[in-house]
Amino acid sequence: MTAVAIEGFPARPGADRNAFLGFTALVWLGVLSGFGTDSVGHVGKYGLDYPPIVHVHAMAFVGWLVMLGLGVYDLITRRRLHPAYIAGVAWTLGLQATAVFLLQSPAWKAMAMRMIGH
């Protein structure tokens, strides 16, 4: 990859890779501070009585964040994405497309309402 120096700023591709790491850390910090404080408040008031769909959402969201972190790690250490990482992202995008299909399904809506306790 060729880095272009802009007038007065030296080309530093290493700094670009470190920026990805910094942005990933900020995303994790934002998620933990937002959801973490809300979760602590909920557990303190109601205990661990979350509906099952909340756990599914948490697993999916954390999965995306871990996938983002692994991609950044690959870019920093290997300077390219691992083929297994690319396959995993493709698989996950396929699952997301399935989720969009299920969202439109009336049968799924009835099942989802039962899962969240309605």
Residue 34 to residue 107: CA distance in whole angstroms = 33
pLDDT, tens only, 15-69: 666 777 777 788 878 777 777 777 777 777 777 777 777 777 777 778 888 888 8
Global pTM value: 0.51
List C-alpha distances in Å: 61 to 27, 32, 68: 12, 12, 11
